[in-house]
Structure 1
Amino acid sequence: MKESLETRFAKFLEHTVGAESIDALHTPSSNDPKMADYYLADRKIVAEFKSLNADQMAKGAAVVDEHLSNKEEVIFGTLPSSRITDSPEEEKALKHKIQDKMTTRIKKVCSKANKQLAKQFEKLPHLATGVLILINEDNTSLHPSMIAERVIDFAASQPRSIHYCLMIFESHKIKAMGKLLPYPLLLDLTRSARQRRSLGFLQSVQWQWAKTYGHTEKVLSDERNPIAYFPEDLTFGG
């Protein structure tokens, strides 16, 4: 039986130089708060895993159903959002509402991870950098761009201990070498030069994991040249 993506990535991480499983270092009592998962780079980085297993399609479908009900319309089969809205502005607002509803849990995931990382920082005698590692094996309802936007919003809204987000997705793939292959995405959410010193290490982890899928060239991403992940669109109805 194939091991889960979280198990495979954890094993990969454990062979990274300077990686330590925090659970293996401690024997927590029932009163202890949930600890973060890993120290990386000789404890300069603290990492917390979160898996995105829950399908969120029903939440998006509920938004569409409400929209159609308000218009007193009934559709059979599937239609693009442009066919159930009266203007580009209305379509944009509907898509935003769908995305917001489907990614509500991501805010909760970030909040919980943020607290765990902060607690782990307190146990170290030096300042550390925090990385949230999001694992998505086969949940196609959560597109990487949707998750990235919600994580960035969380990071911008408050003081936090999440300085990077490494998204390990097998649910969505990119086109490379004539194939569709998974490719990890690293979000840089840093605010200080000290935090940015961890970028090279995390980029190395990102690339080493990408190579396990057969990649031979790095894929760069920015706002002008975003990575296109497939499948791209969510389809409601049937």
Structure 2
Amino acid sequence: MLLNTAEAARLLSTDEKTVVRWVRKERLPATPVDGELRINRIDLLEWATDRGIKVLPEAYAGMEDEPGLFPSLSSALETGGIHCGVPGDDKLTALRNVVALLPLPPQMDPDFVLQVLLAREALGTTAIGDGIAIPHMRNPILLQVPASSITLCHLASPVDFGALDGKPVQFLFTLVSPTVKAHLHLLSRLAHALRDPRLREALKRPCDPAGIRAAVAEIERSLGG
């Protein structure tokens, strides 16, 4: 579904001038149609979630799917795993080592997955600040995986991801999802959890998988699942 700037502004609780500025300066994806900007709803949701910008609930209308499609953060982390001391001196090397740890089907080419992640980074860094990045597939369905997962990698040494706050990245939350709907669900939940001080405190400690899982579970209980 394509939105005009007025519709996008309403869903983001802002004004059209701000939306146009985001398109021009903040990489909000938009396409000129008959002389006016049009924004894909999926692009809007992904862009806003990446930046922690709240979106009106009606933006998700019609995106529900069959029960069980959307896993909890805890189950997605359990599937993807938490890995400490992952090596990598630069973005390319770090992402290559991250891909090696993803729960991918045996027939899937890791080099293809790496190229998909790099293509997403080329559109704009997935670093969200404070040493955290959320690498993910621009089009999740390309991977055709059976289930969603979040793989958390704690890098042995921080790596420059071009974050807006200038801080190098040490935590990579890599999302892999079978559908766009599942992807947006997990991305939104993860963005919310990463704003919660309980998870932030767990990440500040030396790599502590049990503490991270406990913090995520506590946050999900407070949200009602």
Question: TM-score w.r.t. structure 1 length?
Answer: 0.27
Larger Rg: 1
Name the structure with the higher helix share.
Answer: 2
